[in-house]
Structure 1
Amino acid sequence: MGLELAPLRIPFHRRLETFAVLQWWFCFMFLGILSTVISLYLLLFTSYYWLVLLLAGWIFYDRHTPCRGGRRSDWIRRWRLWVHMRNYFPINLIKTAELDPEKNYLMGFHPHGIMSMGAFVSFGTEACGFSEKFPAMRPLLLTLGGWFNFPLARDYIMSAGMCDCSRESLDYLLSDSGKGNAVVLVVGGAIESLEAHPHAHRLYLNRRRGFIVKAMEHGAHLVPIYSFGETDVYEQMANPEGSFLRWLQAKLTKWIGFAPPLYHGRGIFNYSVGFMPFRKPINTIVGEPIPVEKNPTPTSEEIQALHEKYKAALIKLFDDNKSKYGVEADRRLSII
């Protein structure tokens, strides 16, 4: 197939949408590394080493904040930039039930996809109208703790309401920080990104029980979320179980903490190949809450029972909505 070039004349709003996604992709891929490289350069080769020492001191002083609810900025969450990013795909946040602001919720986001763009736009910004759809609720999107070791980058992502996904962070958000928290966890984690192929609906969930335990310990209601189209915005190199590529990716995940998928999308000036995601819709469906009674010391049987109940609710959410978003009627959600 030949290279399909983008036309020179396109509406200005589409250029803004492309820019919005481009800057987010750059931040996702390089912001942490770039901030580290610049810091090392200033420290070792310039007279501004004191600035790096100040930043290091700030990271140490502020080290507990990512596990204590972060430091969100409603101004940044409402930037027009995120609306342009939403419109690029577009991304929609669909509500199916009310959330009670007098309770806390642990919301499981599925699937991870390559970059969890639906999770970020829906819960890390106000572009999809979370606050209007769920009044008095505070969304908190969890991410890998390593992000909060990068100078300046840590403060930028915390401004979106993002927090550490550690046990300490969950304990705080689901108990000590009050009510009305909607804590969003991408349950499958980085390993699930290896399953992110177009039209694939395969989740890494059977071994994920830690979030069930935390929900039970704090009496936080569980909410399944399924994001249709999350795996369609990129094409990933074939990596079936048993292949050398899959073996290598699994090893790298154990060594460095995340799975590096080999993927491509479209380009900035062409529609065929590049690092930009394809313009395909993402529809993020928030399911009905599953009531959870507080149980500080749940047994393995109780954990397993709630885990099965959660999986059943997630499968039902998928089946009830798949026909609306282009999934074949006979397609089943695969949970591994």
Structure 2
Amino acid sequence: MGAGTNGPSNGASAAAAAGERADDGTTVFRGTAYSPLRTTVALALWLGAIHFNAFLVLASLFLFPRRVAALVLATQLFIMFVPLNDKSRLGRKIASFISKYVIGYFPVTLHVEDYGAFDSNRAYVFGYEPHSVLPIAVGILGDLVGFMPLPKMKILASSAVFYTPFLRQIWTWLGLAPASRKSFYSYLGAGYSCIIVPGGVQEILHMDHDSESYVYKWWRPGGKLIVKIARAIKFSPIIFWGKLGTPIPFATPMHVVVGRPIEVVKNPQPTIEEINEVHRQFVVAMQDLFEKYKTRTGYPDLRLRVL
């Protein structure tokens, strides 16, 4: 879908110049490694809020005196509902710091099949797969990174994120927004390209240890009750951990591939058949990209499951 936007930022232009041109015409961008201290701080800010909240709740229940526990829980509740400001100067500085230092940690490599096919004056919808424990590699597509020639980007995430203290502030500054129909339409109409995970957090229910990314170790409870809970709260209960049991993920190389845009005709009231046809094109394109890149990215025996 096309929509009017501003021209590309200087960061995006610089990033395009820095991309490597592969023999097959693909443009490749690689994360730059920085000092371990700054990278660790950036990772902790980006991903540590989930574990930090869990620690505060458990400590309030079992360790803190009652008054301290009540104050901690009250503070968390306040932070859950305080209004968010995605234009905060301090917040955007923190987000820029995170974006700069984390993508070189794994590192994350971005492969763009046809860089010239993306028009900075249009808005696009990106379907990112798989969700995995956390779809953290999607951050390489963010506007603060500047690799894609699109000046306005929003990553749509589960609404549960925006009720999680501290995490909701950090991820909003990073360019995330709730994955609701209202939010989706609003941002597309304002000229933002939107990144969605079609399978959502419920994909966690289908994960196995042999076919997902290896940046975290994890344990997931089973049973039909867990499925019902996950659907109700829009979040799949899971315990995950990284280095030394912390939220710092393992430094496993990750690759994100962006295929050529699928052109669609703007239609505010598509039929089920038209929706299914676009979905079919997306699945076929994703399967083709997976088979093309799995060997060159180091996973020749990996299989793609589409449920």
Q: 1:72 to 1:307 in 2, by over 3 A?
A: farther
Alpha carbons 1:78, 1:125 under 8 Å: kept: no
Matched, 1:77 2:48: no
Q: Superposed, which structure 2 residues align to 1:5-20 within 5 Å?
A: 13-20=35-42
Rounded Cα–Cα distance in structure 2 between residues aligned with 1:264 and 1:45: 28
User: Could you tell me which of 201, 218, 230 is aligned with 1:236?
Assistant: 218
Rounded Cα–Cα distance in structure 2 between residues aligned with 1:169 and 1:92: 29
Q: 1:281 to 1:260 in 2, by over 3 A?
A: same
Rounded Cα–Cα distance in structure 2 between residues aligned with 1:32 and 1:148: 16
1:87 match: secondary structure? coil
Tell me the equivalent position of 1:314: 286
TM value normalised by structure 2: 0.71
Q: CA RMSD in A?
A: 3.6
Alpha carbons 1:89, 1:279 under 8 Å: kept: yes
Q: 1:18 to 1:113 in 2, by over 3 A?
A: same
User: Could you tell me which of 239, 242, 245 is aligned with 1:265?
Assistant: 242
Tell me the equivalent position of 2:222: 245
Rounded Cα–Cα distance in structure 2 between residues aligned with 1:306 and 1:143: 22
Alpha carbons 1:249, 1:261 under 8 Å: kept: no
Matched, 1:333 2:298: no
Q: Deviations over 1:294-320 (max 9, x none)?
A: 112111111111111111011111111
Rounded Cα–Cα distance in structure 2 between residues aligned with 1:252 and 1:53: 22
User: Could you tell me which of 242, 260, 281 is aligned with 1:288?
Assistant: 260
Matched, 1:190 2:182: no
Rounded Cα–Cα distance in structure 2 between residues aligned with 1:265 and 1:54: 29
Rounded Cα–Cα distance in structure 2 between residues aligned with 1:322 and 1:45: 50
Q: Deviations over 1:203-262 (max 9, x none)?
A: xxxxxxxxxxxxxxxxxxxxxxxxxxxx2212334x7xxxx7243431330343211224
1:323 match: secondary structure? coil
Tell me the equivalent position of 1:22: 44
Given residue 216 of structure 2, which amino acid in structure 1 is its aligned partner?
Answer: Y
Q: 1:198 to 1:172 in 2, by over 3 A?
A: same
User: Could you tell me which of 295, 298, 303 is aligned with 2:270?
Assistant: 298
Q: Deviations over 1:183-203 (max 9, x none)?
A: 1112221111233444416xx
Q: 1:140 to 1:152 in 2, by over 3 A?
A: same
Q: 1:57 to 1:299 in 2, by over 3 A?
A: closer
Given residue 252 of structure 1, which amino acid in structure 2 is its aligned partner?
Answer: I
Matched, 1:94 2:71: no
Given residue 132 of structure 2, which amino acid in structure 1 is its aligned partner?
Answer: G
Given residue 304 of structure 2, which amino acid in structure 1 is its aligned partner?
Answer: L
Report the alpha carbon displacement of residue 150 of structure 1 after superposing the two structures with TM: 5.3
1:290 match: secondary structure? coil
Given residue 293 of structure 2, which amino acid in structure 1 is its aligned partner?
Answer: N
TM value normalised by structure 1: 0.66
Rounded Cα–Cα distance in structure 2 between residues aligned with 1:150 and 1:265: 20
